[in-house]
Structure 1
Amino acid sequence: MRYYLRKFGFYLAALWAAVTLNFFIPRMMPGDPVSILMAKLQQRGGSVNPEARRAYELLLGTDTGEPLARQYLSYLGNMLHGDFGISVSAYPVPVSEVIATSLPWTVVLVGIATVLSVLVGTGLGMLVGWRRGTWLDALVPATTVLAAVPYFWLALVLVAVLGSALGWFPLIGGYDVDFTPGWNLDFLGSAVHHGVLPALTIVISSVGGWLLGMRNMMVSTLSEDYVLTATAKGLPNRRVMIWYAARNAALPSIAGFAISLGFVVAGSIVTEQVFSYPGIGSKLLEAVQNNDYALMQGIFLVTTVAVLGANLVVDLLYSVIDPRTRAGANA
């Protein structure tokens, strides 16, 4: 019990620190979101008098005349009530609505791509590690080269070949504009069709890292006594490979997978920009460009909670999968 209480206490402290940084860092950036919004209103013929500016400062929570400590307390109170403010870049839409409309796109795209990368990379790494020294092992450097290729370059290559030259997939967007978003087959089919190239970019770029990590752990695990004993007993190679070697070699991959799931919420900003995909990464970049404090804070908070939650889950899973970690912490 003391082990679990210590873990929960640590993650609560980490969450408080992240929330505090989430409040101060945007306010340390140069520029003023109210000035940006006032400039947009002026371009549309709106009023830019001091009274209007003061009203927008209060609305957006950027009141420069209010003490920073009071702003911080107001920020914490609003956050606990799920009120993240109004987005400047999507004015007058609330931040929670902006996140709610863009987050599912990213979670589905990056989530599925991450799961595929882990399954394919870990499976291939298990086979390559089991057959180390064969021709399969010689192919590992090719996968590491793919992992080193920049996302945007690989995305542009896929767009040029599979999208522009062959015409198999759409070049940009998350769905065909002729369809209305909803739970119908036409829209879902269009969304899947538009998501193939971004997902393929993520899978190709990520699978090499999972393959190399699993391969190295397999090679290390195969020299352990329990694997050698199982082999000496005459157990089938398939059983030794999966239940004795791969089962233990996959422990670091489980931790990495949980952390990757946490970062799924943050999206892949470069990939979403190349394909003009309507995900959370594009909204984050738009928020930074417009000094949209409220939207930046909302996205950072959701990402932070997701990453800390994923780390907490993997810590608790580790204590179940490998009891030595719990025993060492209680010692």
Structure 2
Amino acid sequence: MSAEPTTAPTVDPTLVGTTATRAERGGIRVPWRFILNRAAFYLFTAWAAITINFFIPRMMKGDAVDSFMARSQGQLTPAAEKALRLMFGLDSSVPLWQQYFDYWGMLLRGDLGVSISTGMAPVGEAIASALPWTLGLVGVATVISFAIGTSVGAVIGWRRGSALDVFVPVTTFLGTVPYFWFGLIFIAFFSSTLGWFPAGHAYEVGVEPGWNSEFIGQVLSHAALPVLTIVIASLGGWVLGMRNMMLTVLDEDYITVAQAKGLPNRRVLWKYAARNAVLPQIQSFALSLGFIVGGTIVMEMVFSYPGIGLLLLNATNAKDYALMQGIFLVLVMAVLVANIIADIVYAVLDPRTRQTEG
């Protein structure tokens, strides 16, 4: 008895040339060469950023010790001033190149210095106390805005020419309004007039922080207005970007083939069109995540929110170079890590990227 002829596995023709091809073939190859190339680039970028972070504060007029001595009104002796300069690495008798290498040595040991504006507390502790508030607030708001804006933009692009197009100019207009205007309007309406939400701070005075229902409820209620402010102000960019990419993707041949095969519109929308149109959004999303750390100064001022943006403002006013450098370092690392993750995700979803880079 002759063996039955075997047939080679067929590939869905609607997926050829799209980012779904690799997934249809079963398994995704990890682009190690692409990852290593990008990692080398970002390591160089990190070195350059840290170097600039060291030199810029030392090029500014005045320093934290001068500011501290002015506030002390002559109560500190010259010996105490010299000791402070040694502590903060601002001793003019030490060559600049030596200060630079000492700074790198501190970084490698995980020592970011001492903050003069927070009562001589370690910079790492000052940042660690403020960073979770910013990440929790703005991070959640950014993810919500990205998810809603991308989904709505995909549907609007799919149903182009319908009544849904009115959302594009509306959300775009809202995106041109500064954050603090929305914040002030929401405080006046939802807090002062209706009394639904608190006007500011992260929780009420006297509430003991901890993993209990009272504290969590306080945090959520105080974060409601800031989150609403960020979501509404940033929604327009996600909607417009995804809608425009959908219009481009819908003209591709594989969309026509998929529709000609009689596939359900929902499957064509999400598996074929939106999957390819979302790629540029991923890069923008990574950048927005990176700028979460330092892009909320005004919003945190309006709501008196104890995040990293307000901490940076206070450090700048006090000329607290150690704290400024620590915050800038966290900002740079956040941007770089977010971009590395975006590059990896982009390369996995779109094999053409790593083929070009390789």
TM alignment of 1:29-48, pairs within 5 A: 29-42=60-73, 47-48=75-76
Indicate which of 28, 33, 39 corresponds to 1:8.
39
Residue 253 (str. 1) matches residue 278 (str. 2): no
| Larger Rg over CA atoms | 2
Matched residue, 1:204: 232
- Find the residue that maps to 2:76 and give its secondary structure: coil
Alignment RMSD (CA, Å): 1.2
* Whole-angstrom CA distance in 2 between matches of 1:110 and 1:20: 28
Distance 1:227 1:161 in 2: 46
Aligned counterpart in structure 2 of residue 168 of structure 1, from 196, 199, 205 = 196
Q: Does 2:299 correspond to 1:299? A: no
Deviations 1:114-140 (A, max 9, x none): 000001100110111011111111221
Residue 349 of structure 2 corresponds to which residue in structure 1? 321
- Kept after mapping to 1: 8 A contact 2:149/2:235: yes
**For 2:217 and 2:34, how far apart are their aligned partners in 1?**
47
Matches of 1:302 and 1:148, distance apart in 2:
28
What letter corresponds to residue 262 of structure 1 in structure 2?
G
Residues matched between the structures, number = 327
CA distance in 2, matches of 1:199, 1:26: 33
Matched-pair contact (CA < 8 Å) for 2:63–2:321: no
Matches within 5 A, 1:184-195: 184-195=212-223
Match of 2:150 in 1: 122
CA–CA separation in structure 2 for the residues paired with 1:17 and 1:298: 15
| 1:20 counterpart (28, 51, 69) | 51
Higher helix share: 1
Q: CA deviation at 1:31?
A: 1.9
Q: How far did residue 41 of structure 1 move?
A: 3.0
Which amino acid counterpart does residue 293 of structure 2 have in structure 1? V
Is residue 106–residue 280 contact of structure 1 (8 Å, CA) maintained in 2? yes
TM-score by structure 2 length? 0.89
1: CA distance between counterparts of 2:341 and 2:107? 23
* In structure 2, distance between residues paired with 1:145 and 1:29: 38
Tell me, which stretches of 5 or more residues in structure 2 are unaligned?
1-31
Residue of 285, 299, 314 corresponding to 1:271: 299
CA distance in 1 between partners of 2:33 and 2:137 (Å): 39
The residue type paired with residue 180 of structure 1 is: E
Judge conservation of contact 1:110–1:267 (CA < 8 Å) in 2: no
Distance (Å, rounded) in 2 between the aligned partners of 1:198 and 1:30: 35
Q: Which deviates the most, 29-38 or 128-137?
A: 29-38
Among candidates 239, 242, 260, match of residue 270 of structure 2:
242
Corresponding residue number in structure 2 for 1:66: 94
Percent identity for Structure 1 against Structure 2: 56
Give the whole-Å Cα distance in 2 for the aligned partners of 1:181 and 1:30: 40
Corresponding residue number in structure 1 for 2:28:
none
Structure 1: state its 5+ residue gaps. Answer: none
Matched residues in 2 for 1:159 and 1:81: separation? 44
